Amino acid sequence: MQPTHRAVGTPAPTKTGVVGPLTGALGGHIVFTTAGGGATEVDVLNVANKAISWLFSNARQPDIRADGRVGFDGTGGGKNNIFSINLDGTGEMMNGTHPEDSYPGWSPSGQSAVFYSTSAMVASESIFSGT
């Protein structure tokens, strides 16, 4: 028997529910970064048919929102900023204001984005969020 390492009086974790299959645009898609020849790009894997498609060049750190919108950090090629784009490659939009902004992510509701910045305008490392 394995020893347990809980404080006295701390209840054991219990299973509260089962996560079901993903639905909507997010279900069945994985966004990821690939690198080759000194450049990075964001690609999409369609899990259902195992097809990988290109989404954006000079990009990294993708995060997908439940409706299929992808946030990412543009890197080089005049794209040094935070961007977002739809899974089908339409609707490209620059969302950041400084090339130092990176690591974009979505809030659980998808209504806000969060990112990390080392911008001189801030004078320190910070995490920002906004709508």
Domains belonging to the chain, first-starting first, are 29-130 (2.120.10.30)
Q: What b/e sequence results for 41-69 when a residue is b if at least 16 CB atoms lie within 10 Å of its CB, and e otherwise?
A: bbbbeeeeeeeeeebbebbbbbbbbeebb
Number of Cβ within 10 Å of residue 20's Cβ equals: 6
- Going by C-alpha positions, the residue among 116, 127, 113, 129 that lies closest to residue 65 is 113
In the beta sheet, which residues pair with residue 34?
41
Question: Is the model's pLDDT at 127 over the cut of 80?
Answer: no
Q: What is the pLDDT of residues 75-98, one digit of tens each?
A: 877 778 888 999 999 999 888 777
Q: What is the pLDDT of residues 27-85, one digit of tens each?
A: 689 999 999 888 899 999 999 999 999 999 999 999 998 888 999 998 877 778 888 99
Number of Cβ within 10 Å of residue 98's Cβ equals: 16
| pTM summary value | 0.70
How many angstroms separate the CA atoms of 57 and 70, rounded?
13
Q: What is the mean pLDDT of the chain?
A: 76
